[in-house]
Structure 1
Amino acid sequence: MLTRKAFLQQTLGVMGAGLVTNAWAADSVHQKPEKAQIILKNVRLETGFERDDLEVTRTKTDLFVLVIEEGKIKAIQPNRDVDGAIDVKGCLLLPATKDMHIHLDKTYYGGEWKARSKRQKSVKDMIALEEKILPGMLKTSTERAEKLIELLQSKGSDFARSHVNIEPASQLNSLKNLQKALEHQKEGFSAELVAFPQHGLSRSEGLMKEAAQMDIDFIGGLDPFSIDGSVEKPIDFTVQLALDYQKGIDIHLHESGESGLKTVQYLIKKVTENPVLKGKTFLSHCFILGKLEGKQLEEIAQQLAEAQIGIISTIPFGKVIMPIPTLHQHGVSVMTGTDSVVDHWNPFGTGSMIQKANLMAQLYGYSSELELSRCLGIATGNVLPLDESGQQQWPKAGDKASFNLVEASCSAEAVARNSAVKALYHEGKCVYKD
């Protein structure tokens, strides 16, 4: 059983322990904090699990004081009244969530409502539509990206990996406009950018080379066989561009037939040949994995793990159920994202990563206390308050002060009930408050 004292010993470190000794000595309870500090009281933290002879039956929590300074958690202290402290009234502290697959550069959000048309039935149809509508959307893309970022913040995310259209219709303007939006929001939001040849590499190679020199983080791709007519040539180009400019790789793969499998296998081969890309390469969607079974699935999952290729799954409803449990068993990194939010591809999308964790739990039948608590990891970049044995691992003194205050008693309840985010802090700054 993890006592309050043991919890504090785990989290403080030398600097924090000294701060507790000094700040909470006799007659210093009402000592005023330094100007640079933010102090929160009545903060609920998870401290361990209760178990019976079969399973985890309850998540234990307690109330604490959190001291924030220079964007980091400086100390975690026993809960007391402190002059100037912000009373969070027992809200649960959870890691800030991360939207790892979204298109911030093209959205209707913040404008008039518009559902998707039934005229477009394929990715190629959607590309033809984009060629017509993107020039007009560029006129408001910066403002709408900012509105979308504010939505993500209200749902608990202070970070996103955004794919950005790089193609002849919008040239490099989608990227430039989104960079303006991110500059405006930089005090409360961080992002990684993926240069995304939405209309095919064969039409965008020159633009992609330019984009690779424009402060982006990943080289993207799209269904190499169905869009560009080859598995090898587009992947070779993408890999070489990533190597030339020291970028990562994140490829949209919707193809679920033989070409999809060949794409996964070829990308594994190229990353294995270029180990510098291990841990920096991802497949988004990757629906082909939902079609594999038995030994074939196990082998591909193991190969992905060995190549350190991550999967970014949007966890869709429908016929394709992604084998997330199998991927986890083999040590494949799996994260999730919103993808589209009210745009010409999809009229849905709430912006909530906690909702994605909830959907994952429902799809795979994860309903126990331990299972639900583990599901939160897909929303937070695999940062969890407790490890599987119930040992506290987050937060600790020295961690970035990027977190949510949630109306829930524990992680399991937050996932099961899509609990409301009451406040989001990004590196020590409150950027959303309900």
Structure 2
Amino acid sequence: MLIRNVRPWGAAAVDLLIEGGRIAAITPHLADSTAPVLQGMPGGPDAGREVVDGRGRLVVPAFSDVHVHLDSSRIGLPFRPHTGAPGVWGMMLNDRNNWRTAEIGLPERTAGTLEQMIARGTTRVRSYAQVDVDCKLEKFDAVMAAKQKFSAHADVQIMTFPQAGILREEGTIELLEESLKQGADVMGGIDPSQLDRDPAKHLDIVFGLAEKYQVEIDIHLHEPGELGVFSTELVLERTRALGMQGKVTLSHAYELGSVSEAVSRRLIEQFAELDVSMATVAPSASNQLSLVELTEAGVRVGLGEDGQRDYWSPYGNCDMLDRTWQLAFTNNFRRDELIEHALAVATMGGASIMSHEVPRLRGVLDRPGVAVGDRADLLIVDGETVASTVMDRGSDRTVLHDGRVVAEGLSVLDS
């Protein structure tokens, strides 16, 4: 494939040659189409190749949504009033009381949500699949079916997730283990102190199952202040003791910056040392660890949309470009380079969590993902600059996965 006239990260216009699913060559774009755009190519630059006209749009890496709940989505369904009670347990019960009565079946709305995400530029997804004594493996099966349906359009990792806790309801552990036997990619945990109220046992089960099935770990952490720091320190202790460096992610963790500057600095240093990743959903919280300090320390940080207009929240629309705007806004980013950094987190930051073959961001000025040798998972999108693209969030989008166009104009193309 030859992609003409695109601007990597807003730079000067170039032409990209795609071979074997990767960027094989980059040359300056020449307006004269008869000019030798890419030299040394038999039969001329376009011979036997699909040609994509970038029309001067930006090209950036495709998005990586590393924290989404495909199984609870109401995308595409009529809007309903929010009925959730405060707190994790209350919200979970609201979902439990309503998910079976949605206007269409769970497999259809799960797959439909993934389709809308791909159409808007997301080609890497880490989705939670709730597993508990209520839904058993029904939600896991729906996410697995969506993954298989769109296997040619996106990479999807599935996390088996004890949304209702591990210890509160008998039979949960056996269901979690069965989902791992059936191919879950990541073992989930949630609020080991506040929800299950036995953090040692909770984490013993999470780390034990992860070790047994050789999968990574991702722990939801909503716990406040010193309690959140306490649970985090237990996670770090186990990561170190079990040699699971590079295999653990903390999601949310938006209270870890609330205790003291010294504690924040110590946690960031340990995250970097143990290669513990952070997944944020860009909450409107003031006590988060600094996104800039995390990146500069070498911590892998990715972005996700969390719920999608579901029984937990009316927010979410499948568009990671919108969530990138939110990440910049909630971090009070105004300078162009920081807004660009938010996009780097939303794209290659998340990619580095899903695959450690992808290098972590080297700093706030790192703009990876569109160089020779990089995988051709790309988003071509309208905009004057990267910052203006994040602000305007245009709809003129072309999405590539593994060097193939998978979506155009906010619609997914057939395989």
- Normalising by the smaller structure, the TM-score range is 0.7 to 0.9
Does 2:291 match 1:324? yes
| Distance in structure 1 (CA, Å) of the matches to 2:365 and 2:88 | 45
Q: 1:334 and 1:389, CA in 2 relative to 1: closer, same or farther beyond 3 A? A: closer
Structure 1 residues 215 and 116: alpha-carbon distance in aligned structure 2, compared to 1, 3 A threshold: same
Aligned residues between the structures: 381
Is contact 1:283-1:310 (8 Å) kept?
yes
TM-score in terms of structure 2 length: 0.85
Map of 1:415 onto structure 2: 390
2:21 to 71, 79, 85: 71
Q: Which residue of 1 aligns with 2:83?
A: 117
Unaligned 5+ segments in structure 1 are 1-37, 47-58
Q: Which residue is equivalent to 2:164?
A: 199
Cα offset for 1:163?
0.7
Q: Which residue of 1 aligns with 2:258?
A: 291
SS of structure 2 residue aligned to 1:287: coil
The Cα shift of 1:73 comes to 2.3
- Match in the other structure for 2:280: 313
Distance 1:417 1:357 in 2: 11
Quick one: structure 1 residues 140 and 228, their matched pair in 2 at CA, closer, same or farther if it must change by over 3 Å? same
Deviation per residue, 1:83-131 (Å, 9 max, x gap): 563322111110001111000112111222223115x122111232333
Provide the residue aligned with 1:259 in structure 2: 227
Displacement, 1:397?
A: 3.1
Superposed displacement of residue 346, structure 1: 0.6
In structure 1, what is the Cα distance between the partners aligned to 2:91 and 2:25? 51
The CA deviation at 1:189 is 1.4
Distance 1:284 1:42 in 2: 38
Equivalent in 343, 347, 362 of residue 376 of structure 1: 343
Matched residue, 1:86? 52
What is the aligned partner in structure 1 of residue 379 from structure 2? 404
Q: What TM-score comes out, normalization by structure 1 length?
A: 0.81
CA distance, structure 1, for counterparts of residue 212 and residue 150 of structure 2: 30
Q: Which residue of 2 aligns with 1:5?
A: none
| Structure 1 Cα separation of the partners of residues 144 and 103 of structure 2 | 13
Partner of 1:224: 192
Q: Distance in 2 between matches of 1:365 and 1:126?
A: 29
- Aligned amino acid, residue 331 of structure 1: G
2:2 pairs with 1:39: yes
Deviation at 1:421?
A: 5.0
Task: Find the residue that maps to 1:227 and give its secondary structure.
Answer: coil
The 1:425/1:250 distance shift into structure 2, 3 A limit, reads same
Note closer, same or farther for the CA distance 1:290–1:138 as it changes in structure 2 (3 Å cut): farther
Task: Give, in angstroms, the shift of residue 345 of structure 1.
Answer: 0.2
Give yes or no for the alignment of 1:104 onto 2:104. no
Give the greater-gyration-radius structure (CA).
1
Taking the aligned partners of 2:318 and 2:259, their CA distance within structure 1 comes to 29
Distance 1:68 1:330 in 2: 33
Helix, strand or coil at the partner of 1:65: strand
What does the per-residue CA deviation read over 1:32-86, in whole Å, with 9 as the maximum and x for residues that have no partner? xxxxxx222112235xxxxxxxxxxxx6x22222222332223223424265633
Q: CA deviation at 1:387?
A: 7.5
Q: Is the 8 A contact 1:195 1:219 kept in 2?
A: yes
Work out whether 1:364 is the aligned partner of 2:334.
Answer: no
Distance 2:265 2:317 in 1: 33
What's the counterpart of residue 172 of structure 1? 137
Aligned-residue RMSD, C-alpha: 2.5
Tell me the CA shift for residue 319 of structure 1: 5.1
Identity %: 25
Question: Does the 8 A contact of 2:280 with 2:303 survive in 1?
Answer: yes
Gaps of 5+ in 2: 34-44, 352-358, 410-415
Cα distance in structure 1, aligned partners of 2:18 and 2:327 = 33
CA distance in 1: counterparts of 2:205 and 2:313, whole angstroms: 29
CA distance in 2 between counterparts of 1:231 and 1:338 reads 27
Distance 2:91 2:21 in 1: 42
Q: Which residue matches 2:413?
A: none
> Is the Cα contact below 8 Å between 1:375 and 1:415 reproduced in 2?
no
